[in-house]
């Protein structure tokens, strides 16, 4: 099914469906979990699924909404195909890092005066390269706790209940972690369905944004008058620690830990940060120097505290993709029509005639472009992906 579309309108525009979607889940018949969901745990997950996190006037996150197209399955299966760090990926990243180091050295040699930022970035990259080399010799298996998967037919979130059970102490703790993993996976579904664009997502942005989103929902439920508020507070405390611990992991897991930093230091920015990322997730340019610099500040090891703010600034810059020229077609008299995509709050498309990309973008900023909505569904290439 064509899943890449902006559902905002469907949720809140004229076409709002009145009936509530009730939280539901299937059991993996081939590999059912050892334990059934306890009534207490089920009530907690149901409460989380009902909670709506408002992001801006036209966008909000709610698991029940997302269940319209993303089914939940509880499984006992262990998928530990994941070894951190996977050797092939590491080798590719060492090559990628070598190119980045080379480009930083070139930029430094061309710089007319001393450039502290470039120098620091270069030294971070050299350090990270050493870490990657070291990581080639170590294996650290880490099973999936949950997964978001989609193909042309369906979108499914799987919670690996037995794995969650194995790493938690007792049913109470298991319930808390299940809540966080459930939210994390539904944030993948949310980002996937809100965004338009044709690029693959950038994992090192997507994962911390999924962690950040999950912490924000728990925080929001904890301070609400919901019947599960006190459990949500416990889950929040548990999840903060759980996410933060990933900061010291080797491999891309370290990037997840950045979600704890975002929550701790940029909690008040969540509405714009999450909405921006939701709209821009498929527009980010993976190969740009700024994306790579951001990535290697987080990866393979979480940055030293002095790097966090630099990384945050780079993240904000990456997300600042509003008013991007998507395509153009030639028209008569040397003028061309530009299609501009605006992605800050909702996604909308503008058309403007101009002589160049820059002129089109500046006309757009002056409010001289004509707005035109467009259903992007058919143009988009759907690629399979799974996110843990």
DSSP assignment letter at 20: P
**Can residue 387 be called a binding residue for Zn ion (CB under 5 A)?**
yes
Report the 3 state secondary structure along 93-143: HHHHHHHHHHHHHHHHHHCCCCCHHHHHHHHHHHHHHHHHHHHCCCCEECC
Antiparallel, parallel or unpaired: β 370-372 and 348-354: antiparallel
Q: How far is the CB of 214 from Zn ion (least distance, A)?
A: 10
- Which parts of 189-208 interact with Zn ion (CB under 5 A)? 207
Q: How far is the CB of 263 from Zn ion (least distance, A)?
A: 15
Helices assigned H by DSSP within the chain: 8-12, 39-50, 63-66, 87-110, 116-135, 161-166, 170-194, 203-222, 229-245, 253-256, 258-265, 270-280, 289-298, 305-319, 357-365
Q: How many positions of this chain bind Zn ion (CB under 5 A)?
A: 3
Binding mask 156-195 for Zn ion (x = CB under 5 A): ----------------------------------------
Q: How far is the CB of 28 from Zn ion (least distance, A)?
A: 19
Q: How far is the CB of 217 from Zn ion (least distance, A)?
A: 15
Report DSSP letters for 198-210, one per residue.
SSPP-HHHHHHHH
The smaller minimum CB distance to Zn ion, of residues 353 and 387, is found at 387
Stretch that binds Zn ion, among 81-89, 124-132, 161-169, 379-387 (CB under 5 A): 379-387
The smaller minimum CB distance to Zn ion, of residues 53 and 121, is found at 53
**Cα–Cα distance, 343 to 199 (Å, whole number):** 15
Q: How far is the CB of 211 from Zn ion (least distance, A)?
A: 8
Of 81, 50, 59, nearest in space to 12 by CA: 59
The smaller minimum CB distance to Zn ion, of residues 176 and 352, is found at 176
The smaller minimum CB distance to Zn ion, of residues 206 and 341, is found at 206
**Can residue 211 be called a binding residue for Zn ion (CB under 5 A)?**
no
Structure tokens at 147: 């997964």
Q: How far is the CB of 325 from Zn ion (least distance, A)?
A: 31
Which residues of the chain form contacts with Zn ion (CB under 5 A)? Answer: 207, 210, 387
């Amino acid at each position: 099914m064509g899943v890449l579309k902006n559902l905002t309108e469907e949720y809140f525009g004229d076409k709002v469906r009145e009936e509530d979607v009730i939280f539901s889940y299937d059991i993996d018949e081939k590999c059912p979990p050892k334990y059934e969901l306890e009534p207490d745990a089920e009530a907690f997950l149901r409460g989380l699924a009902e909670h709506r996190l408002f992001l801006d006037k036209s966008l909000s996150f709610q698991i029940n909404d997302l269940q319209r197209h993303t089914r939940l399955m509880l499984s006992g299966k262990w998928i530990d195909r994941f070894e951190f760090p996977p050797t092939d990926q590491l080798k590719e990243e060492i090559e990628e890092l070598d190119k980045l180091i080379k480009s930083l050295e070139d930029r430094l040699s061309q710089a007319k005066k001393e450039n502290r930022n470039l120098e620091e970035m270069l030294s971070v990259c050299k350090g990270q390269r050493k870490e990657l080399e070291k990581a080639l010799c170590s294996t650290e298996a880490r099973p999936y706790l949950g997964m978001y998967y989609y193909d042309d037919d369906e979108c499914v979130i799987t919670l690996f209940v037995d794995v969650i059970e194995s790493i938690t102490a007792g049913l109470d703790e298991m319930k808390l972690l299940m809540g966080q993993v459930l939210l994390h996976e539904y944030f993948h579904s949310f980002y996937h369905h809100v965004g338009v664009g044709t690029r693959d997502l950038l994992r090192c942005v997507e994962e911390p944004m999924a962690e950040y989103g999950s912490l924000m929902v728990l925080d929001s439920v904890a301070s609400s008058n919901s019947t599960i508020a006190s459990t949500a507070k416990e889950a929040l405390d548990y999840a903060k620690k759980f996410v933060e611990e990933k900061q010291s992991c080797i491999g891309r897991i370290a990037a997840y830990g950045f979600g704890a930093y975002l929550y701790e230091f940029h909690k008040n920015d969540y509405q714009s940060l999450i909405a921006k990322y939701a709209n821009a997730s498929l527009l980010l340019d993976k190969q740009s120097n700024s994306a790579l610099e951001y990535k290697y500040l987080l990866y393979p090891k979480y940055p030293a505290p002095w790097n966090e703010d630099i990384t945050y600034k780079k993240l904000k810059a990456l997300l600042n993709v509003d008013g991007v020229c998507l395509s153009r077609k030639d028209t008569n008299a040397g003028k061309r029509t530009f299609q501009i995509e605006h992605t800050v709050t909702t996604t909308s498309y503008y058309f403007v005639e101009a002589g160049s990309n820059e002129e089109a973008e500046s006309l757009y900023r002056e409010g001289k472009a004509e707005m035109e909505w467009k259903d992007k569904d058919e143009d988009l290439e759907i690629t399979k992906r799974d996110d843990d």
